Structure 1
Amino acid sequence: MKLRLIPFILLGLAAVSCAPKQNPDDPFAGAKWIGTSEKVLYADFLPQYIISADITLPDETSSASLLMGGNDPRLMDADLNIMRVANGKDESFVRVELDRKGKCLNVYRTGYTKEDVPGKVLRSLPVADSLLTDLPSRLTVTVTYSELRILLDGANIGQVNVGPLGHGGDYIAYPQLSDIGWLVEAGRTGRVSDIDVQEIRKPNAVLYHHDGMAEAGTDQLVLTDPSFGAMPVLRSSFKVKGKDIESATLSATARGIYEININDARVGEDFLTPGLSQYNKHHYYQVYDVTSLLKDGKNGIMVSLAEGWWSGDITFGGGNRNYFGDQLAFLARLDVQFADGSAQTFVTDPSRWEVTVDGPVVYASLFQGQVTDARRSLADAVWHPAEEMVLEGHVSDATFGQTAPRTDEYSEWQLVRQADPSPSVFTVLTAQSIKEIRPGVFVYDMGQNFAGIPSVSLKGLREGQPLRFRYAEVLYPDMPEYEGDEGMLMLENIRGAMAQDIYIASGAAEELFEPHFTQHGYRYLEITGVDSAPAPADVKGLVISSVQDFSAHYESSNPLVNRLWENIRWSMLGNFISIPTDCPQRNERMGWSGDLSVFSRTVTYLSDVDAFLTRHTQAIRDVQMPDGRMPDVAPLGGAFGGLLWGSAGITVPYEAYRQYADTAILELNYDAMRHYMTLIDEKYIEKGTGLMTQGNRGFGGLGDWLGPQNGQLDNSAIWDAYYIFDLQIMVEAARVLGRGEDEALFARRLAERKTEYVDRYLDKKTGRFIASEYVRGRAGQAIHIQSSYVLPLAFGIIEDEALRKKVLNNLVDTIRKPGRTDNGIVCPPNSLMTGFITTAWISKALSDNGRSDMAYNLLQQTSYPSWLYPVTQGATTIWERLDSYTKERGFGGNNSMNSFNHYSFGAVGQWLMAYSLGIDRDPSAPGFRHFVLHPEADPTGKMTWARGWYDTPYGRISSSWKRIGGKVEYEFTIPEGCSATLRIPGVREQELSAGHYTF
């Protein structure tokens, strides 16, 4: 049954009154946030935590140990780790020992690598005599992605890395909490008591407590699994009058993510609602039409909750778990309108709801995965009254870095009806093949890298049979470096995310595994624990995205370019899930502004994302700092990108305005945009010199991120060019919004800054780029690389035609000649030597200045580095690095920070639409009611035809060209109500009205 999501709000159930229709100003009148204060812990999926205990050492020879990370299932099966260890029970753990005799604290690691020696100290830290007494001492170990920070009675003892692969968010995390315990060695005395496991982030809620105890001097190792509970499920019932129902709308939201069933039917087709936002500023709700689900008399409702972004992992920093709060809650209101004009209202009220933590979803995390025990039945669960959930005492006062706002500040909080689409199933994939890589290890190729969840039909499983599902974008190749792991999942780039699901079978004849409370980025699915592998036809992949459909298409005579186009679209699908993320698979999935800024012109062609971007720019404003600084990441705020990332607060609203003629998004963001420009003028530009330093001559922010020659660039120039681009946007925004004084101010500043840019960075005789004094030891030296020349050409900074031609020739020269990367690799002519920022503009810079031949050369280059090299290596999405994988160097040592689904380098999509097809915006008429047709047929002749379309609100624009002999034939369609300016070689510029044309 397909339910309609009313664009914008959601539920709960105590009958309050017979009320009029829902008041739009108070959509949840009478409703309360409900849930349970009971905690849930799944220890094998917790890589960040605080574990503490009282250690009592009664004499000078005493010692006692606190244990964690014991019996991690990954370390008990050589197929689940790349260290190839397979431990038996109680053979793997991390031990922190307080040794009074040695006046030290010893850290041991056992069973994590083949080189680990039981009883051998990994690291010893000295302890002051004053901390070693007969009295209990509180030993506190904070574990964050393999790094242990150890305190004794509040005194910092030191930090120890116990990760076999590295420590921090860039590596697979060991130890998970897993089994915990204690040990007192033979011949020693000591006591371990009052063991606590707490959340790592304030207010550090206690997840688990054990009285502890140690058998003095027995060498008895005690390990126990502290896991308990399951994700909360709420239920209620309500009676509907025996009347004809005219309509029933359900408004709902959650702290966490939710899924609702009414009368055993799922409400809506959404996933991960209410999505991510800066919850303490704007918290979104959804509204569903549930008329068809209600029946006369008694109705039942059930709501499942999971962590989502509210209390789960949310960044690559392990300390940011439970970022917005440590308790889940649900809020809802149901409004039923009858045909006779009467109404009923039902709301969430703890007095009418029950809750259980005994359900089948044992644990669910966006990063770590979902654990489902299908043996558990909600009918048999222990239910008890729900509680009203409050924020006080459950929200941290910490921030994501120094330039991010606090999350316990709710003075501007609003509950807002959602206007953009929620994530839903875009399409369903079927596994293309299966291989048994090792005995019992079955790897399925879905044929496409994507973001979503599996849907696997299972047959003939035994009751209690555990299955494990793991996910990866790539497999280890057959190369000496990876000998023994060939064909296995490469999970190093997933880093601190577990990215695995566990399913414990019910024993039914047929079972379906479909985890709704997590999300994975993958092409390859590994299934273990089955006696016989499911057939590929039974292994589906639900592609989940906030994108509902595509509004643009491109194809050409070059099949590799066609695959590039598809890769761009797939990377958009995978990274537009509630927010625009950088990547959908590893322990990051954050709204990095720089990525979106460069991709925003492309994405506005690919789909109608006006409402999506409106919501996201609200998140940007929500975390803008009081001094005007725009965030590098939104939601959350903060980070280290600087002006190129912060400029998304200006460029993204502008691109939406230009594409959709949406002046409202400009109006909503204008004051924030203006505030940011004031910050740049006052803080980022050095007084006296006028140099763009972002207030720091050492590190002002990121440059042309991941460019092969980024280390050779003068970052101040690329920042300055983007500042000029921002000024251009502000001039237009002020004009459109009728801010005359601002328009004049920005226009004057723009003219001044253009002149300063040319004077500072360009040699007027040669057109060569000259390093500024920002580049230590290189001021005045030429920097002759592609990235230096792109932005001044793309942004029209150089007004002198003769100088502009010289700069263009220099750019062409850098393309025609071999380039050398920062690490010394010599790349062939026509290589793409640009990073995230300048790659988005290099093709435009060439075509705007009459060199589309070079743009096509870059486009169709197949050797590294290029857009098509990944395609030749089998890429089905855009990669984070131009060399994420090469057949010569494998992953090139970049096994960790290496996403294979990262849309930034896909920003060439806007050039394919606006230049190759020539479906371009009219600078004086946003929204495509009037537009420009100026297709650029490939002058090199390598591409012989191209065709495509763009769907506007008025209809479909189509454009094609085909080279036949020495001529080019063009064909266009202009929808009703639209017109276009035509500019093609050999035909005078002319205005075309609606119709079909050939030339």
Structure 2
Amino acid sequence: MGLDTLTAAKDLAANVERFTKTERAWTAQMIAPLSDAGQGTQASFVGRDFELGKVPSGPVWLHVSAQGLYRAFLNGVRVGDDLLTPGWTCYDRAIAYQSYDVSGLLKAGANRLEIWLGDGWYRSQMMWKAAPVFNCWGDRIAAIAELEAGSVLLKTDASWESGLLPVMRSGIYWGEDFDARVVPKATHRVEALGFDHALLVPHETGPVKELTPLLPLESWADGSAMVHDFGQNAGAYIRLTVEGAAGAKVRIEHSEILGPGREFDNRNYRGARAELTYVLNGQGVETYAPMFSFFGFRYARVHVEGAAKVTAIEMVPVTSVPDLAGGFECGVPQVNRLVLNTIWSQRSNFIEIPTDCPQRDERLGWTGDAQVFAGTACWLADAETFLTKYLRDVRHDQRPNGAVPHFSPDPTRLHPEQFPGDWAGSTGWGDAITVIPWQLYLHYGKVDVLRESFPAMVKWVDYLWSLGNGPIVQTNSRWGAQGFTFGDWLQPVGDNRTPRPTIAADCAATLYHFISTDLASKVATILGETAQARALRERAEAIRLAFAHEYIAPSGRLAHNDQTSYALAFLHDLIPAEHMDAAKAYFRKEVEDADYLIGTGFIGTPALLPALTKLGMLDLAAKVFLNRKVPGWLFQVDMGATSIWERWDALAPDGSIYDPDMNSYNHYAYGAVCQWLMEGVAGLTLDADHPGFDRLLIAPKILPELGHAKAWHNSRHGRVAAEWALNGNKVTYRLTLPAGMQAVWAGGDLPDLQLSGGATMGPGSHEITFTLKN
């Protein structure tokens, strides 16, 4: 049953590098400003005057990157509109650079290039207040740049100068303090650093961009301050316009929620100061937005100290995925708002990497959240390059023993003295290395991402096998220990006097052991790794048999009799045929006994409704999905949520905050239900044999409670759209396919089924009618 991982690693490791590196013959040096006093101090710039006899006739390109964050100015004009450049990666793997056509900013004669630098992810605080990490990837901010038009016109080297900026302090969790009275001037030289140019890669995904600004829906006084409600929780920053005397100051706090008495409450930010301060220069109308930070908020509280007046204020949402690629709408307004909430949580947390939340002292690339949401992410946005880039960091952070990190980029890997043990290897989190590449393959049809990730997949499933020296994974409850797992994180248990059943850690780990091994075998087959595919299939079958022996009673009842166990086991075909009917009955009873309340956490929730749907229990799926109590998706909508919550019980019915020490109101994981809306309710199922939307399997699941349903998605072939409507018990289903796409009816032989054009459909519009079964 053993699997020879060395063969896969040796055969494919050479191929990985060509997907992660693009050569550019840099001659510039990475230069650090000698004006810089270190992390958390006043920001610095590097700059250089240069002469041009004439502006070159062709395009002139500025290639630029930094240790830290940068913003470049050529002759006083900002270069580009990208935000938070050069972005966030494992900086010991790669540092992105950006390239801009700056021909229109140059002039004959004297010119000046300045690069402003902030601490950013590179050296401002990472991790939470109990164990903060500063200078995580290094303690020197620095810049590298080349201006070229066929040949290099200017490059960073030891001849440049440096000085201090109006940015008095900045940090990802800190926010930004800006004193407009400070005029940048050169006071110091620079130091050329030893730097490996091979780290520099073109930006591997789309840059962070501004979305359309939002104006306050309501504003009111809070003592001497003003609170502004922008009506939407988002990853964003404030842009304000202010007039007043030099030295007057505006301070802005942020929050996601208000307390029961409409009091401003941001205790859940924990150790993140998450504020802006702006000191006026007194020279007329002044406009300010931060350069080197962002926040997660809906409300802003504005304090003015001194003679100043805020004349305009707006929220500016930011994201790496600005273009909507899909949507779903039905006859229940709360469901439509839930979909919109998911879109906003994706935008808010897809800022360079898929973070858990955009507000508190965390904002880390948790692999578990990204794993469960990957399918939804690809339906709602073009997430191909975004998630591909993220996977490269996940693989870089993978441990030598195969354990995949809890989050990536991973500060704990670089600072083991602060984080004893190993922060890697959890059920559902580590499985990001198999699930995310598979979802990318399904949606975009490219084999490259599978080829890049396959050696890491094999290392991961080998690690899981090693934990129990066989198919049943032996877990450990101690954080940092080998075999530690989060299990079905934040699984609700109901009344604490008689809690609902929950899945055990070893059972959850064994379920995901099968899921990842099964996916790895499919990937090996696609890559033509025949021997690997066979060995992985054999191993998956061994896990299947061991799971049944260990966790299924002769009666067909699963060992923990909980919703997560049933959902994952049914969805992934782990229930033997002889136990199907009995296990289905136990599953139904568990859902009914829970009064149709959700009993699943992070790893079980994405499987719950698909499993019920797969089993034909549409009545249960509708009742669970549409229940308005806690725990439930629509409870949070009824409570006024404009993004997805981290916890089912994040707010009590009276509006009070639950456990502010671990509570985010912008956490996309439970929004994974949108994948079920697209694939199950709308019936647009991806075909693994014809990926990338070459062919769809059409099997809509009609929930009369929704009234009607419409879905659309912009695939690589163009827009696909589907909708169904009811007239009594008669269903009319309409499908529109772009050129290059086929669809096959996979919904079974329903009563009165009529397929215009037959069961196989090509580009164009199609209508299917049938009668609902009683």
Measured after TM superposition, the shift of residue 923 of structure 1 is 2.6
- Paired position in structure 2 for 1:293: 105
- Given that 1:34 and 1:331 are in contact with CA atoms closer than 8 Å, whether structure 2 keeps it comes out as no
Secondary structure of the residue aligned to 1:567 is: helix
The one of 184, 202, 206 equivalent to 1:417 is 202
Aligned residues between the structures: 722
Secondary structure of the residue aligned to 2:472 is: coil
Measured after TM superposition, the shift of residue 33 of structure 1 is 2.9
1:801-825 Cα deviation digits (max 9, x unpaired)? x42232222222122123xxxxxxx
The one of 712, 726, 729 equivalent to 1:966 is 729
- Paired position in structure 2 for 1:112: none
Query: Is 1:806 aligned with 2:582?
Result: yes
- Paired position in structure 1 for 2:608: 842
**Structure-2 change in CA distance of 1:382 and 1:332 (3 Å):** closer
- Paired position in structure 2 for 1:121: none
Counterpart CA distance in 2 for 1:32 and 1:839 is 47
Query: Is 1:716 aligned with 2:497?
Result: no
- Paired position in structure 2 for 1:650: 434
Structure 1 unaligned spans of 5+: 1-22, 43-228, 338-342, 392-409, 479-486, 771-782, 819-828
Query: Is 1:857 aligned with 2:623?
Result: yes
- Paired position in structure 1 for 2:190: 386
Measured after TM superposition, the shift of residue 331 of structure 1 is 0.7
Counterpart CA distance in 1 for 2:357 and 2:157 is 39
Structure with higher helix content: 2
- Given that 2:39 and 2:119 are in contact with CA atoms closer than 8 Å, whether structure 1 keeps it comes out as no
* AA of the residue aligned to 2:300: L
Secondary structure of the residue aligned to 1:245 is: coil
Query: Is 1:921 aligned with 2:700?
Result: no
Measured after TM superposition, the shift of residue 975 of structure 1 is 0.6
**Structure-2 change in CA distance of 1:531 and 1:945 (3 Å):** farther
The one of 345, 349, 374 equivalent to 1:571 is 345
1:219-368 to 2 correspondence within 5 Å?
230-242=42-54, 244-316=56-128, 317-337=130-150, 343-351=151-159, 353-357=160-164, 359-368=165-174
- Given that 2:721 and 2:737 are in contact with CA atoms closer than 8 Å, whether structure 1 keeps it comes out as yes
1:774-799 Cα deviation digits (max 9, x unpaired)? xxxxxxxxx32212211101112224
- Paired position in structure 1 for 2:213: 428
**Structure-2 change in CA distance of 1:918 and 1:589 (3 Å):** same
Counterpart CA distance in 2 for 1:34 and 1:326 is 10
Secondary structure of the residue aligned to 2:429 is: helix
The one of 697, 707, 720 equivalent to 1:957 is 720
1:654-673 Cα deviation digits (max 9, x unpaired)? 11111111100000111111
* AA of the residue aligned to 1:581: T
TM-score by length of 1: 0.70
- Paired position in structure 2 for 1:995: 764
The one of 473, 483, 487 equivalent to 1:692 is 473
The one of 241, 252, 268 equivalent to 1:457 is 241
- Given that 1:954 and 1:978 are in contact with CA atoms closer than 8 Å, whether structure 2 keeps it comes out as yes
- Paired position in structure 1 for 2:331: 557
- Paired position in structure 1 for 2:16: none
Secondary structure of the residue aligned to 1:570 is: helix
Q: Which has the larger radius of gyration?
A: 1
Secondary structure of the residue aligned to 2:660 is: coil
Counterpart CA distance in 2 for 1:693 and 1:814 is 26
Counterpart CA distance in 2 for 1:30 and 1:831 is 60
- Paired position in structure 2 for 1:666: 450
TM-score by length of 2: 0.90
Secondary structure of the residue aligned to 2:264 is: coil
The one of 231, 247, 251 equivalent to 1:468 is 251
Secondary structure of the residue aligned to 1:724 is: helix
Secondary structure of the residue aligned to 1:529 is: strand
Secondary structure of the residue aligned to 2:293 is: coil
Measured after TM superposition, the shift of residue 286 of structure 1 is 1.4
- Paired position in structure 2 for 1:92: none
Measured after TM superposition, the shift of residue 868 of structure 1 is 0.7
**Structure-2 change in CA distance of 1:982 and 1:241 (3 Å):** farther
Counterpart CA distance in 1 for 2:277 and 2:346 is 28
1:874-919 Cα deviation digits (max 9, x unpaired)? 0000000001002247223x02210000011111010011011111
**Structure-2 change in CA distance of 1:249 and 1:664 (3 Å):** same
Measured after TM superposition, the shift of residue 435 of structure 1 is 0.9
- Given that 2:29 and 2:192 are in contact with CA atoms closer than 8 Å, whether structure 1 keeps it comes out as no
* AA of the residue aligned to 1:354: E
**Structure-2 change in CA distance of 1:641 and 1:885 (3 Å):** farther
Counterpart CA distance in 2 for 1:244 and 1:35 is 30
Counterpart CA distance in 2 for 1:890 and 1:628 is 42
Counterpart CA distance in 2 for 1:24 and 1:922 is 32
Secondary structure of the residue aligned to 1:753 is: helix
- Given that 1:36 and 1:389 are in contact with CA atoms closer than 8 Å, whether structure 2 keeps it comes out as no
1:925-981 Cα deviation digits (max 9, x unpaired)? 11101111211110xx32110102011111100000111122111111011121101
* AA of the residue aligned to 2:719: R
Counterpart CA distance in 1 for 2:381 and 2:655 is 36
Measured after TM superposition, the shift of residue 383 of structure 1 is 2.3
- Paired position in structure 2 for 1:741: 531
Secondary structure of the residue aligned to 2:49 is: strand
Query: Is 1:947 aligned with 2:754?
Result: no
Structure 2 unaligned spans of 5+: 1-20, 414-421, 494-499, 769-774
- Paired position in structure 1 for 2:738: 975
Secondary structure of the residue aligned to 2:149 is: strand
- Paired position in structure 2 for 1:933: 698
- Given that 1:34 and 1:348 are in contact with CA atoms closer than 8 Å, whether structure 2 keeps it comes out as no
- Paired position in structure 2 for 1:797: 574
The one of 672, 676, 700 equivalent to 1:911 is 676
* AA of the residue aligned to 2:596: N
Measured after TM superposition, the shift of residue 336 of structure 1 is 1.5
- Given that 1:628 and 1:679 are in contact with CA atoms closer than 8 Å, whether structure 2 keeps it comes out as yes
- Paired position in structure 1 for 2:11: none
Measured after TM superposition, the shift of residue 305 of structure 1 is 0.4
- Paired position in structure 2 for 1:124: none
Secondary structure of the residue aligned to 2:428 is: helix
1:172-183 to 2 correspondence within 5 Å?
none
Counterpart CA distance in 1 for 2:258 and 2:655 is 15
Query: Is 1:510 aligned with 2:508?
Result: no
Measured after TM superposition, the shift of residue 718 of structure 1 is 1.0
Measured after TM superposition, the shift of residue 41 of structure 1 is 7.0
Higher relative contact order (CA 8 A, sep 6+): 2
Counterpart CA distance in 2 for 1:889 and 1:420 is 39
Measured after TM superposition, the shift of residue 432 of structure 1 is 1.0
Secondary structure of the residue aligned to 2:456 is: helix
Deviates more, 1:986-995 or 1:368-377: 986-995
RMSD (Å), alpha carbons? 2.1
Secondary structure of the residue aligned to 1:428 is: coil
Secondary structure of the residue aligned to 1:355 is: strand
Counterpart CA distance in 1 for 2:26 and 2:454 is 31
1:253-283 Cα deviation digits (max 9, x unpaired)? 1110000011222111111111111111222
Counterpart CA distance in 1 for 2:119 and 2:263 is 30
Counterpart CA distance in 1 for 2:297 and 2:621 is 32
